[in-house]
Chain A
Amino acid sequence: MVIKKNIATSESGFIFNPSTGDSFSANPMANEIIQLLKDGLTITEIKTKITNRYDVDLLHLEKDLDGFFLQLREANLLDN
């Protein structure tokens, strides 16, 4: 799961795709995951990081992450 290199993000959760002109607002959790993706972490590493930091069970997290990654793909923010 690799986020496109030219995608711009801000601390406030604003996401800008300079290839399409699309922009999105991410909530703090989504923004944190995007930053982890940009830092090059694998999905397994992201899961570990999130479960260590937050009170969430793995099954619930995986379900939410699947939905979120689907949204990122639909928004054309991921490399193929």
Chain B
Amino acid sequence: MVIAVTGLNAIDSPGPGVAVIRALREGLPQPLRIIGLSYETLEPGIYLNDVADKTYQIPYPAAGTEALLKRLEYIHAKENIDLIIPNFDAELFNFVKLAPTLFSMGIKTFIPSMEQIDSRDKTNLVQFGLKTGLAVPQDCSMYSAAELYGAGEQMGYPLVIKGKFYEAEVCYTLEQAQKAFYKLSAKWGLPVIAQQFIKGMELNIAVLGDGKGNAISIIPMRKLYITDKGKAWSGITLEDDSLIQLAQQFVQATHWKGGCELEIMRTPEGKPYIMEINPRFPAWIYLTAAAGQNQPAALAKLATGEQLQPFTTYDVGKIFIRYSWDHIIDVSTFQQFSATGENN
């Protein structure tokens, strides 16, 4: 089986690709060939041993579907890819659009539809909550800083000011909120989202849906160590039936196809709010394999038509601890990839 994987940027704010590959290698039989797809030349996963068998550079998402398809046709001619697992939010649109064409070429994907991706977008989260009956915080999409007055009156302070794609700041005053608005709108564009602040315990759930309303795997995790970018540097699997039920409810309501991550805030009273839904595997996805539910391997099996029953057990108390490592390569290796867009 030949599987192409993106998200090889195993950096301080890591893409999930290296973890996905690690899980695939552990959970799928040989022969298995992994093709890395990278956007930049210094993504660590390109150069790490025993990660990708070969990596090709692909055009940035902004280049559009035509450029991506052209590049994938070239790679497919050489590698005969069976399955592509995209791992970035920003590239999903192109892969969803290309999915039928890729399928006709013999390349499978197992990703959500455009409607599913749009419905969970942070600008549509309140409507998503109303439609599915799941608890989500109030929010307000803002196209001007003047709208902050109304948002503050409606939801009270503190407010969470969020960028359209990434980043969020907790603001305790109107002045702080205005500063965050200008910063995040300059960086990520409009709208900027003002979200109700929910106090509680931050939890995450990795979920794999089969596209028919069944959750094949659900692993809840709590971050034990968080970087200054809010990323998990360490985390532990939890035993919590309410989180499992919440994820099942989410998959049943959306018929989610593929991997995703639910970001949850559980209030001191025990009520779980869905704060955000990431439409792809999280960077900590290898923990699902370590806990006994290998989600990337299960996704590959689903994509190739295998019928899977939902996992029913996992190990509680499995901890991941991320680490950094100075991997050494020769400039000739870097030169090869930089000049040709593929390594040996």
Contact = CB atoms under 8 A, between A and B. Distances in A.
Interface in A1-35: 6, 8, 16, 18-21
Contact of A18 (B201, B224, B235, B316): B316
B317 A19 contact: no
Contacts, number: 20
A34 B144 CA distance: 56
Interface magnitude class on chain A: under 10
Interface string B278-294: 00000000000000000
Contacts of A8: 317
A30 to B, nearest CB: 21
A5 to B, nearest CB: 11
Nearest to A16: B317
A16 B235 CA distance: 14
Contacts of A21: 221-222, 224, 235-236, 238, 317
A43 B222 CA distance: 33
Interface in B235-282: 235-236, 238-240
A67 B239 CA distance: 28
A6 to B, nearest CB: 6
Contacts of A6: 239
B317 A20 contact: no
Contacts of A19: 238-240
A20 B240 CA distance: 8
A21 B236 CA distance: 6
A18 B317 contact: yes
Contacts of B317: 8, 16, 18, 21
15 contacts: A6-B239, A8-B317, A16-B317, A18-B316, A19-B238, A19-B239, A19-B240, A20-B201, A20-B222, A20-B238, A21-B221, A21-B222, A21-B224, A21-B235, A21-B317
